[in-house]
Structure 1
Amino acid sequence: MVTKTAPPSTSSAGSAPQPGSIPATPAVQRFDLPPPAPGTSSSHPLVLQIEKTPDPDGLQIFTAITTCVLTALAGLIAWRQWRTSHDTLRFSLFQKRFEIYDATRIFIGDIVMSGNTSKEGTAKFLTATLGTRWLFNEKLASYMQELYDQAQLLEAKRLEIEDEDHDVERGKLRVQATNLVNYFVDQQKALNDRFKSHMPTIGA
């Protein structure tokens, strides 16, 4: 007798697999996209494409800003160079003018202290003030000449006092010499005011 074995029953879709059995692989459904229409891009409409498109307005703005920044930077550098050169020239002028001022101050101070002039002091004064006309102006150059003339007059009065034998005349000469010394005292007080307006301020 032939025994018919019943075919193995398949488990329902929701039943758990039996121990030792290999689970069935679920079927994969494939969805094929339809081909692109003739004359269109090969990329499918559902595929996102990111393309870089030129932005002429943005490029012009960037170029303009860059040009402005570079121009401003170049202008700042040029201004700093001019400022440095300007201050250097003013400082050089200040030094040369101060040498004349200092020589004049020493010359007047020596006369006030001693009541007379000296050949050495007069020679130093003349040498130091030779450039007054070009470094200052004609007015101050004339003032330097006036100081020299008054100093020479004072020296002449001192020599006359030494040579004068008459007391009366000698007294008159001494008064004149004293007046000349007082002239230099007044110049000593006013010297700063005469030079102040001609001395350049550094960094101005």
Structure 2
Amino acid sequence: MIETVAGLTDLQIKLFTAVGQILVAAAVGVIAWRQWRTAQQQAETARKKLIADLFDRRFRAYDKFVDHIADAFCAEGDSGEDDAKKAIESAYSLLHEIRWLFGEDVTSKLRSQIIEPMETLVSVRGRMRVSKGDQYIALAEEFRDVEKKADIATSRIPSLFDAHLTLRS
């Protein structure tokens, strides 16, 4: 064996070189693993943020829809019929956004189970304001029935949205 630098043999130098390369490779592996973990955590954070943003958009749409329906239900006075019709129109226009946020199933149920009974209520209320005598009495009775149906319909609004208003993925 031939001694070289600092009294080390050629074989010992090769051993230290190999050990050094193994340590560098291990360090690179640890750094790569940590970068992979960081990327995984960032992806999970981005997914959770997307879910939270979608929840916020869905809740705003839900809240607007409930407000429009409440405005239509509670509108009274001479300008109440116009306000109620505007509220129904606003609810209808909101259905386009709701369709994209909640799906066609929720949209069609809202249209048939909520908005249509509210339209009937507003219509009967409007006819009642201009009627007199026996016609008024008949419309008042019809109004009570329609109001009861509309009240039941509005109580179903939360159950139509429940499955979609969640932060679970």
Name the TM tier (shorter chain): 0.7 to 0.9
Aligned to 1:150: 117
**Matching residue within 76, 92, 106 for 2:37:** 76
Give per-residue Cα distances to partners, 1:114-150, cap 9 Å, x unaligned: 4776133223323333212221111111123222222
In structure 2, C-alpha distance between the alignment counterparts of 1:66 and 1:130, rounded to whole Å: 55
Q: Residue 13 of structure 2 aligns with which residue?
A: 53
* 2:140 alignment counterpart: 174
The one-character-per-residue Cα deviations of 1:47-87 (angstroms, maximum 9, x if unpaired) are: xx742533266346424432431221121221133223223
| Cross-structure match for 1:159 | 126
Question: How far, CA to CA, are the matches of 1:58 and 1:152 in structure 2?
Answer: 82
CA distance in 2, matches of 1:99, 1:189: 18
Shift of 1:102: 0.4
Q: Give the equivalent residue in structure 1 for 2:95.
A: 129
Q: Structure 1 length as normaliser, TM-score?
A: 0.62
Contact 1:93 1:200 in 2 (8 A): no
Aligned residues with identical type, % of pairs:
18
1:106 to 2:67 alignment: yes
Distance 1:157 1:57, change over 3 A: same
In structure 2, the partner of 1:201 is 167
Aligned residues: 157
- Structure 2 length as normaliser, TM-score? 0.72
Moved more, 153-162 or 121-130: 121-130
Q: Which residue in the other structure is 1:87 paired with?
A: 48
Distance 1:176 1:68 in 2: 77
- Kept after mapping to 1: 8 A contact 2:58/2:102: yes
Give the aligned residue type for 1:66: A
Q: Do the aligned partners of 1:111 and 1:181 also contact (CA within 8 Å) in 2? A: no
Which residue type is aligned with residue 177 of structure 1? F
Amino acid aligned to 1:107: H
Q: Which amino acid aligns with 1:161?
A: M
Alpha-carbon distance in 2 for matches of 1:41, 1:195:
83
Q: Indicate if the aligned counterparts of 1:157 and 1:176 stay in contact, CA closer than 8 A.
A: yes
Verify the 8 A CA contact 2:128 2:140 in the aligned structure 1.
yes
Structure with the greater alpha carbon radius of gyration: 1
Q: 1:114 to 1:159 in 2, by over 3 A?
A: closer
| Residue 112 of structure 1: how far off its partner (Å) | 4.2
RMSD value over aligned CA atoms?
A: 3.0
Q: 1:114 to 1:179 in 2, by over 3 A?
A: farther
Q: Secondary structure of the equivalent of 1:201?
A: coil
Is 1:65 aligned to residue 26 of structure 2? yes
